[in-house]
Structure 1
């Protein structure tokens, strides 16, 4: 039996975004999305899957791309730049997925979701802290998304629903498109 394509992601918030985009594009569960509990587990996941393959895709944050480089080297693949990593199915977020979502949707849309979640007061408190008050709202939102128990996942889910599934920001578009192509989906 042929396996479904697999997308390896760093954590649960990344998984919820990729799953929602895949579901919105296909309406079916044709790709397995696996949160790795941190990018340091990438080599172990690739080993279990038999190494890099056209049906094994990876989404990582730029600061952690060195772990992807190392994991690929264990399988005889030399790739350094984001472009080279992409040749082997590893897609790199410029900073991280939260930054990609905030930049892609815009500060206003993200703030509207924070308000809808009932967390605008908490955001405004963070934004007034001395170390954050002079920073751009994009930076404040990035920090806010990563603070608070479960907030990163909850906010990611809401923001994923705002994305245009046919034209999400890079690298989401690349990883979803390649995964669907590997699944033989007509929308891949």
Structure 2
């Protein structure tokens, strides 16, 4: 339901930012707000997963409504985005650099990984503590499956363990970022807006 509503909002926007889910939307909104932008004329549309990208690109792109479409994706899922861009008329066999020139930017692993690496584990743990989840995180770290993992990997997994937590932390972590340390894919995407 949320994706349908977001898509409807994007139909009137001059620029549409396609993201996988709500956590990406929240992080972009938080970073834009911190930069003093209200994203006027821009709709950030969660697609409900990367496998839906072709549908959104065909509907909103040059062969559809003709909106300016940009996006954020995980590097491991680049093939979906490349195929979607080709099917929607953006160009065939696009390199990652060509996709970036169009406004589609890859996160190394995913958004959470980018935010955790940019902030560093001490700051992420401070954010977890401020959110009231530090005790839960410490208990999580004691689980046998987590004990051998590095702390950044533990934080990444912890953020994704409970429904709604990824979205909550996306905004909190984006708010904690030093403006000079915004992850490159997010920084480049915001520069396209």
TM-score range, shorter chain: 0.7 to 0.9
Q: Residue 58 of structure 1 aligns with which residue?
A: 71
The C-alpha deviation readout for 1:75-101, integer Å capped at 9, x for no partner, is: 342245432321222100000000000
The more displaced of 24-33 and 169-178 is: 24-33
Q: How does 1:130-169 map to 2 (within 5 A)?
A: 130-165=144-179, 168-169=182-183
Cα distance in 1 for partners of 2:44, 2:185 equals 15
- Structure 1 counterpart of 2:47, from 36, 47, 51: 36
Runs of 4+ in 1 over 6 A off after TM superposition: none
Higher relative contact order (CA 8 A, sep 6+): 1
Q: Which has the higher helix share?
A: 2
TM-score by length of 2: 0.84
Pair 1:150–1:22, CA change in 2 (3 A)? same
Aligned length: 178
TM-score by length of 1: 0.86
Q: Residue 67 of structure 1 aligns with which residue?
A: 80
**C-alpha contact (below 8 Å) 1:60/1:96 kept by paired residues:** yes
Pair 1:123–1:80, CA change in 2 (3 A)? farther
CA RMSD of superposed structures (Å): 2.0
Gaps of 5+ in 1: 180-188
